[in-house]
C-alpha cells in the first residue's frame, strides 16, 4: 500500500488565505525587527504554522488544490500516467 502525501486545502480561497497569512507573517517578522526588536520574530511560528511547515509545501499544495478533480493518475503494471478526469456523476 503506497503512502500518499496531500498538501492540498479544501478550497482555493482557503489555500490562498493560508498563503497570505503565512507569507505575510514571515515577511512581517523580519521587517518588524528594526521597529519592535526581537519580538517581531514571534510571527515566525505563525507563518510556518499557516504554511504547514515550509513555503515549498504550500506551493505544492497550491498545485494540488488547483488540479484536484481535474487530473487523474492511473497506474497499471508499474507504469503510471496522468490524464484528464472524466465527468463526475
Q: Which of 42, 41, 17, 39 is nearest to 30 (CA)?
A: 41
Please report where in the chains the cell 487530473 appears, as a residue. 71
Please report where in the chains the cell 484528464 appears, as a residue. 84
Predicted local distance difference test score (pLDDT) of residue 4 = 57
Confidence of residue 49 (pLDDT cuts 50, 70, 90): very high
Please report where in the chains the cell 518588524 appears, as a residue. 32
> Hey, where are the domains in the chain?
12-84
* Cα–Cα distance measured from residue 66 to residue 64, given in angstroms and rounded to the nearest whole number: 5
Could you report the per-residue pLDDT of 17-44, keeping only the tens digit for each?
A: 999 999 999 999 999 999 999 999 999 9
Centroid of chain to Cα 68: 13
Predicted local distance difference test score (pLDDT) of residue 8 = 83
Confidence of residue 6 (pLDDT cuts 50, 70, 90): confident
Amino acid at each position: 500500500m503506497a503512502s500518499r502525501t496531500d498538501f492540498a486545502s479544501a478550497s482555493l480561497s482557503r489555500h490562498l488565505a493560508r498563503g497570505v497569512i503565512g507569507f505575510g507573517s514571515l515577511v512581517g517578522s523580519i521587517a518588524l525587527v528594526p521597529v519592535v526588536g526581537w519580538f517581531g520574530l514571534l510571527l515566525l511560528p505563525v507563518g510556518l504554522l499557516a504554511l504547514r511547515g515550509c513555503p515549498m509545501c504550500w506551493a505544492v499544495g497550491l498545485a494540488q488544490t488547483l488540479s484536484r478533480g481535474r487530473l487523474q493518475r492511473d497506474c497499471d503494471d508499474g507504469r503510471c500516467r496522468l490524464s484528464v478526469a472524466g465527468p463526475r456523476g
